[in-house]
Amino acid sequence: MAANRYTRVAGLSGAAHDEAAALLDALHSAAIANADAAPATARKAAAKLGRDAADALAAHDLAAYRALLDAVGALVVAQGNALYAATERAVRGRVAFHAAAEDAHVDWDAARRTADALASL
């Protein structure tokens, strides 16, 4: 965006989704592995959201995918590392936006594994 000149609207890109999703998967895996750093209330909330998302993910529901990403994002925030949380939030936003691209390769099996991992917290 340039003041008094123009606004550029970002287009959807499957490649952008896939690239960011690979990084987000690593960030989320670390967050789940270190879930003990989050308060019990945050772990319980994440577990509930993981259980709630499971069936919708099996149906390849994009809204459930985004909700799952947000659930892990809340767990990251609860762990108290501001830099980690800011990085995760930026990458998650990119993944959530570009997931709607026709050529995005959402790994539904990996999403289901993430939901199961959250549910077991």
The answer as to whether 59 is a domain residue is: yes
- State how many domains the chain has: 1
Kindly tell me the burial class for residue 5, based on how many C-beta atoms sit within 10 Å of its own C-beta (0-12, 13-18, 19 or more): exposed
pLDDT string in tens for the chain (121-residue length): 556 666 766 789 999 999 999 999 999 999 999 999 999 999 999 999 999 998 899 999 999 999 999 999 999 999 999 999 999 999 999 999 999 999 999 999 999 999 999 999 9
The answer as to whether 2 is a domain residue is: no
Within 10 A of 109 (CB to CB), how many other CB atoms are there?
A: 10
The answer as to whether 9 is a domain residue is: no
The answer as to whether 4 is a domain residue is: no
The answer as to whether 1 is a domain residue is: no
The answer as to whether 63 is a domain residue is: yes
The answer as to whether 3 is a domain residue is: no
Alpha-carbon distance values, 83 to 11, 42, 52, 89, 101 (Å): 28, 19, 29, 10, 28
| Phi, psi angle pair for 49, to nearest 5° | -65, -35
What pLDDT, on the 0 to 100 scale, is given for residue 111? Answer: 97
**Domain boundaries, position 81:** 14-119
Alpha-carbon distance values, 113 to 29, 50, 102, 119 (Å): 10, 10, 23, 10
What pLDDT, on the 0 to 100 scale, is given for residue 49? Answer: 93
Residues in the chain: 121
What pLDDT, on the 0 to 100 scale, is given for residue 55? Answer: 87
